[in-house]
A and B are shown apart, each in its own frame.
Chain A
Amino acid sequence: MGMNPLTLDIVIFTLLGISIVSMVRVIIGPTPEDRLVGLNLVVAQVVGILVIIAVKFDRSIYLDVALVYAMLGFVGILAIAKYLGGKELQG
């Protein structure tokens, strides 16, 4: 009794299709914070997709890619949020 082999594919493509919705928010967001909120969600879904790909093809190198991408997303959001308030950097 195994899993249906199409399950991981279905999850990957569903996550891809769903993350288009929050990419729309990244594009049309009225303020920069709205774009950051959308970007935060896109990072989470891309990390999920990378981990599913690692399990599907049984390559653990994709897990390292997912961990580095999660770190870069976090540091990137932090850096953009610091960049938006430019006065605090000098004071």
Chain B
Amino acid sequence: MILMIYTFFALGLFFSLLGNIGVLRFPDVYTRLHASSKCGVTSLLSILIALMLLKGLTPMTGRILVITVFFLISAPVASHIIGRRAWEEGILPWRRQKPKRKEGD
């Protein structure tokens, strides 16, 4: 059980670090949104599962479960709203390089 708790804490910190590096390093709103939503949900879920394992069957576990379910519902909705907002403002997705056919034409 102790080993599972440590594993979930380590997973949470690992995904949190990956998500933050992705938000800092990626070149575009959409790629940053990808890193943010996926790694944010995964890291928080791992940490909350570790805390629920740590507390056992106590009333605190039920409250942590409520926070988990709420965050699992609300975080993808918020990410979707940000992505739709960026798309409606006309921000184009990032390309690796400009297409070279325009120079030839």
Enumerate chain A interface residues (CB-CB to B < 8 A). Answer: 1-3, 7, 11, 14-15, 18-19, 21-22, 24-25, 31, 33-34, 36-38, 40-41, 44-45, 47-48, 51-52, 54-55, 58, 60, 63-64, 66-67, 70-71, 73-74, 77-78, 81, 84-85
For the A-B complex, the count of residue pairs with Cβ-Cβ distances under 8 Å equals 138
Interface size class of B (residues with CB under 8 A): 35 or more
Chain A residues, Cβ within 8 Å of B19:
22, 41
B29 touches A81 (CB 8 A): no
Chain B interface secondary structure, helix, strand, loop or mixed? helix
**CA gap between A51 and B71 in the complex, in Å:** 13
- B10 to chain A: closest residue by CB: A11
Enumerate chain B interface residues (CB-CB to A < 8 A). Answer: 2, 5-6, 9, 12-13, 16-17, 19-21, 23-24, 29, 32-33, 36-37, 39-41, 43-44, 47-48, 51, 54-55, 59-60, 63-64, 66-67, 70-71, 74-75, 77-79, 81-82, 85-86, 88-89, 91
